[in-house]
Chain A
């Protein structure tokens, strides 16, 4: 059974530096790390001490409030450093990898024959439960709950996003195995497929799931959009979601009994020489991937995509859920008003509105930098958000309710249906340069603290 759903409001941002369809290897790197900040709402409690030897799949830390939520080590080796920040907050747990990775054996078994409890137990034990997250709040799912549905978006519409059809090619069997396990967790598992291409080889033949095709501009590929178009989240509901490569990781766990943390990521961005795909292990050092591939020094490294990714230094590490590294020019230059600034024709600038003449070149790919392109202002323009926001929600009303921290109004205006990333385009187009994603994230954190 499949449905075609069209998204009308949204925006595809065409950037320079999308990845060529080649998978390369990165030179073996020594240190890998997991960053507790990647897990929203998780209070890390260390399971290891500095100097201890771990196997791939051993717990590095777990959630203080819910000890079943374990974060596993992607490699085997010695825990060399626990990097802490202000107030002794744990920033990174670093593991010096062995030359030959040794795995903790969780036992290979066919998930088809297991009960729900057995599947949950296996995922919790191996730490791979951390790959499953829930909406609202984008926190790791509660192992004791049973969600209304599980959603897997099988395409990515962010600017410069990796192509999952390419990444997953020829890996149907592993993906199917992961799906077999996941279908035990909920009565409904949905796959969201790209309606633009209409046919997606790796995902087409998967069984046990309901397939929907989504057509239209970004955020058609966002799991939040897909959930909303199928059945919006009500207060009290929980919907789970998981990324396609992580489904495969779960498939590998059942196939081999090991936590194999390898995944394919895209190295993208206008400042990358020869952008392409690389096979890496989760938690890889950014510099190990980007070394000798960046054209200048004044750049920003992003773990993730340009709209929602995290700013990192090159000696930091790939985010736990990220499958993309983007390198963009840092925009820390002044722009003279007559030539590059607000008064000019703006042939080199990109704007969704037609206030600059870039609309003459609809197919141009841009090398956008990280300049804010203006200053923070009050809300003045209206209707900007609505053009790129495909939800049946009044975004400006919701954002204003969050700013004044009116929990009752937030609930009524539909905060459970959204997450910060769903507002990324609203933030991109804002002429008042308001950091809307941060506002929504803060609002959701406040709300979660009220509720739990």
Chain B
């Protein structure tokens, strides 16, 4: 390691202020601090510091995403061979998906980091780590058949409009990856919904009777029974061999990620738990309403547990709702925020006739509501303090 250290240290003066490559300080600094935690020592305040930094914290999210990513790749292959009516081995399935998903991941990272580099160069700053997660999340919540140029356009839109105009990492109002998805959803709806986008046929023809529809699309028409009949029972959906966006299908893989996030303290268990509670309650209400008053509406009667394991619900709860920048900051606020994400996701999913999924909209909406929730939580604390002050003043005056 010493020679790498010597190399970086040797060229360091060139990239410092006054050096001949000073204008390229951003890429130098980014690579240097990637390879080495810098030799900065504490100058003010506490002399010792915790070992955690933003790199480590966000690296934990990447680790937590690995199970969902790998499973998603396998499932792409599995769905492909299922659609064309062939059977394939585990490795064949995985390899097919890997080849399909890798370009999307690369495009997302290269384009997104490229844009971030431009902004960092302009402001003469080091690169902050936020996009390392967004760059992986963006492909994981896309249908596989989205063209690569659309991934690139969406990423540029999300990084520039969603993040940099607000001041960069830590300043954005809405989740970056969701912004990218929402952009494509409204700009190119035909590429983001329907029965053609989830399965990559890779030029081959689908087997007879294969529709390629997602479980939620089927549920609109036929409810729980039709979903089960289509081979997407509760357990199938829980394990995840169903059509859907790359990362979202396997609840098991997502729960492994959730465990990592919660155990390391990087993701908020309060948000996750309350979102699941909110979703369950809403689904149970619809189950009851559907059973008692709207027997014709089979989507209302989709089993509440099924709701939780289908579509993007769990992926959104674990990886998107917990984004600390766009979620509420107060611990009490996290309970409220999570609960309403779950509740709204199922509400939008069930009563919006145009599109069978609601997670994206729910998270976007609650991202925007988060500062208001925090405001009222903090306001309650302020009121308590003001009341105490008044009581103390009254005691003096008497």
Contacts and interface: CB of A to CB of B under 8 A. Distances in A.
A309 interface: yes
Interface stretch (B49-57, B77-85, B174-182): B49-57
Interface string A339-383: 111110010011111111010000000001111111101111111
A351 B52 contact: yes
A128 interface: no
B42 A372 contact: yes
B265 A354 contact: yes
A412 B382 contact: yes
A437 B44 contact: yes
Interface stretch (A43-51, A55-63, A330-338): A330-338
A302 B46 CA distance: 11
Contacts of A302: 47
Given A377-B169, A413-B378, A341 B48 contact: no
Given A308-B46, A337-B34, A412-B386, A355 B265 contact: yes
Given A340-B37, A380-B130, A382-B329, A353 B265 contact: yes
B47 A351 contact: no
Given A342-B59, A374-B54, A234 B389 contact: yes
B194 interface: no
Nearest to A333: B39
B40 interface: yes
B54 A380 contact: yes
B72 to A, nearest CB: 24
B100 interface: no
B41 A330 contact: yes
Contacts of A368: 48
B44 A435 contact: yes
A375 B38 contact: yes
B347 to A, nearest CB: 26
Given A330-B41, A331-B41, A427-B45, A337 B50 contact: no
A30 interface: no
B130 to A, nearest CB: 7
B45 A394 contact: no
A119 B191 CA distance: 84
A392 interface: yes
A273 interface: no
Interface size class of B (residues with CB under 8 A): 35 or more
A302 B45 CA distance: 11
A308 B46 CA distance: 5
Given A374-B37, A429-B50, A355 B57 contact: yes
Interface of A (DSSP majority class): loop
B60 A336 contact: no
A232 B388 contact: yes
Contact of B50 (A300, A350, A383): A350
Contacts of A330: 41
Contacts of A326: 47
A335 B37 contact: yes
Contacts of B99: none
Nearest to A414: B385
Given A237-B392, A378-B168, A381-B266, A373 B51 contact: yes
Contacts, number: 222
A207 B379 CA distance: 42
Given A354-B264, A381-B266, A334 B331 contact: no
A428 B48 contact: yes
Contact of B48 (A334, A370, A393, A412): A370
Contacts of B325: 380
Given A354-B265, A355-B56, A372-B42, A342 B48 contact: no
A126 interface: no
B128 interface: yes
A227 interface: no
A256 to B, nearest CB: 37
Given A397-B329, A435-B44, A430 B324 contact: no
B367 interface: no
B57 A300 contact: no
Contacts of B57: 353, 355, 380-381, 431
Nearest to B5: A334
A436 interface: yes
B53 A371 contact: no
Nearest to A393: B381
A235 interface: yes
Contacts of A370: 41-42, 47-48
A353 B130 CA distance: 19
A377 to B, nearest CB: 5
A407 interface: no
A331 B39 contact: yes
Given A234-B392, A332-B41, A356 B49 contact: no
Nearest to A368: B48
Interface centre among A15, A334, A354, A393 (most CB of B within 10 A): A334
A394 B266 contact: no
B396 to A, nearest CB: 9
Given A373-B53, A396-B329, A397-B378, A328 B47 contact: yes
Contacts of B266: 353, 355, 381
B351 interface: no
A64 interface: no
B35 interface: yes
Given A331-B39, A336-B1, A355-B57, A428 B49 contact: yes
A374 B39 contact: no
B288 interface: no
B355 interface: no
Interface string B56-79: 111110000000000000000000
Nearest to A396: B329
Contacts of A358: 51
Interface in B339-385: 374, 377-378, 381-382, 384-385
Contacts of A383: 265, 268, 324, 331, 334
Contacts of B171: 378
> Most chain-B Cβ atoms within 10 A of its Cβ — which of A349, A352, A383, A429?
A383
A437 B48 CA distance: 13
A418 to B, nearest CB: 12
B36 A307 contact: no
Contacts of B1: 336, 338-339
Contacts of A336: 1, 4-5, 35-36
A84 interface: no
A234 B128 contact: no
A319 interface: no
Contacts of B59: 342-343, 355
Interface of B: 1, 4-5, 9, 33-60, 126, 128-130, 167-171, 263-266, 268, 324-325, 327-331, 334, 374, 377-378, 381-382, 384-386, 388-389, 392-393
- What are the 3 tightest A-B residue pairs by CB atom distance, in nearest-first order? A374-B53, A378-B170, A437-B45
7 contacts: A326-B47, A331-B42, A342-B55, A355-B56, A372-B38, A380-B324, A424-B46
Interface of A: 13, 15, 159, 232, 234-237, 300, 302, 306-309, 311, 326, 328, 330-343, 346, 349-356, 358, 368-375, 377-383, 386, 392-394, 396-397, 412-414, 420, 424, 427-433, 435-438
